[in-house]
């Protein structure tokens, strides 16, 4: 499971990842900064669909995944994203709430 380093996070990849409604919902659910079990983030979405969304978010550098036994835990890479693109997450989450 590869996560890009902070310096490898690309703005276009992040914007593309956040452009999907389910992925934007995932980011809003992780905004508190708490690590969450992947099955508890967006209930009601099929596991096979979520797997694709996790991969896109991870490869873009938006989330970090950590396996523990048979479970997968996810956190938002807020510090890394705020360092690379100050204010971007706040703007994206505000826009998502306003629509």
Domain covering 7-98: architecture = Orthogonal Bundle (1.10)
Q: Could you report the per-residue pLDDT of 39-51, keeping only the tens digit for each?
A: 889 888 888 889 9
**Contact at 8 Å (CB) between 26 and 18?**
no
What pTM value is reported for the model?
0.90
**Contact at 8 Å (CB) between 36 and 28?**
no
Beta carbons within 8 Å of 35's beta carbon, 6+ residues apart: 66, 73, 74, 75
Q: Could you report the per-residue pLDDT of 68-79, keeping only the tens digit for each?
A: 999 999 999 999
Query: Where exactly are the structural domains of the chain?
Result: 7-98
For the chain, how many residues are written?
A: 99
């Amino acid at each position: 499971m590869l996560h890009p380093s902070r310096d490898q996070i690309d703005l276009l990849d992040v914007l593309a990842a956040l452009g999907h409604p389910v992925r934007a919902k995932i980011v809003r659910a992780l905004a508190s900064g708490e690590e969450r079990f992947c099955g508890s983030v967006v209930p009601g979405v099929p596991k096979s669909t979520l797997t694709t969304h996790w991969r896109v978010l991870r490869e873009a550098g938006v989330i970090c995944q950590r396996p523990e036994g048979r479970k997968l835990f996810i956190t938002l890479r807020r510090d890394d994203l705020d360092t690379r693109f100050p204010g971007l997450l706040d703007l994206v989450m505000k826009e998502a709430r306003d629509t």
